[in-house]
Amino acid sequence: MSKQSKLDKELEIAAKRSLLKNSYYDFFKFFWSTLNHEKLVDNWHIKYLCDELQSVAERVFKREKKEHDLIINIPPSMSKTSIVNIFFPLWCWINDYSLQFISVSYSYQLSINISERCRDVMRSDLFKKYFYDVKIKEDSDTKQLFRVVKDNQVGGFRYATSVGGTISGIHGHFILLDDPVNAVDALSDTMIRNTNDWLDNVIFSRKVDNDVSVVILVMQRLHENDPTGYMLSKNADKIEHICLPAEIDDKNLPKPLELKKYYKNNLLDEILKKIILQ
């Protein structure tokens, strides 16, 4: 390879790197293939959620006081875990490698599986090509907890746990609650109450800074008093609530209401519904 060709390649990589750092939506689309054989079925909600997450994260990068926590209600098969819990920490780290993440799901094995997928993206050849300077710390590399280094400087981490688990000495700039209750447990008022009590007494106290750290809850609605209902009943004025029903009508509308204009034939994702029904 000639010197000019090498220089052109380096400039190309630098330009792409800059684009991916500045746009979580572009980052998400670009690295989708590292985990998925199927082509991304893009839809308006993906960019909308990526932009919302980016807006929240950029305040944390600057350690500015947060405007709100975030609740996202969305049906299954809409890439919610990929958007919120797999690719999002990676994008944050390429902008601020010091950030600390706590990830919670209803089961320990589910939390570990999600963490492994996040780690797999970071280990991929594609990620290394553009962000070779951001790596997993070799002596702190497990599915439950892995730490980040940049240019050999130790940074933040991603810690995976489940509802009911103990957390000692761990605090997060971001607390990601990804399906903290499953459909079966949602049938039990006791299980719902125990989940909410654990969130109150354990996880919500695990913030690096109460003014800066952000709680992001993503789940489908399962019960009137599920974690969404519980959090809204306590602090609705401090939460941005995004609700994206699979199908809308006069009694079942999206939040914010302005998102109604993106629904085609009253469907959140017309193309994906056709694929699921095939």
Mean pLDDT, residues 108-137 taken together:
96
Mean pLDDT, residues 83-109 taken together:
97
For residue range 38-60, list pLDDT tens digits in order.
999 899 999 999 999 999 999 99
Q: With cut-offs at 50, 70 and 90, classify the pLDDT of residue 111.
A: very high
Where do the domains of the chain lie, and which CATH numbers do they carry? 10-277 (3.40.50.300)
The answer, yes or no, to whether residue 275 has pLDDT greater than 50, is no
Residue with tokens 């280094």: 149
**Contact call for residues 249 and 58 (beta carbons, < 8 A):** no
The answer, yes or no, to whether residue 278 has pLDDT greater than 50, is no
For residue range 230-245, list pLDDT tens digits in order.
999 999 999 999 999 9
Task: Residue 167: count other Cβ atoms within 10 Å of its Cβ.
Answer: 15
| pLDDT for position 276 | 42
For residue range 12-34, list pLDDT tens digits in order.
899 999 999 999 999 999 999 99
Mean pLDDT, residues 268-278 taken together:
61
Residue with tokens 């499953």: 182
Measuring CA to CA, which residue among 223, 212, 228, 268 is closest to residue 244?
A: 268
Q: What is the pTM of this model?
A: 0.94
**Contact call for residues 112 and 160 (beta carbons, < 8 A):** yes
Percent of all residues in the chain with a pLDDT value above 70, rounded to a whole number: 96
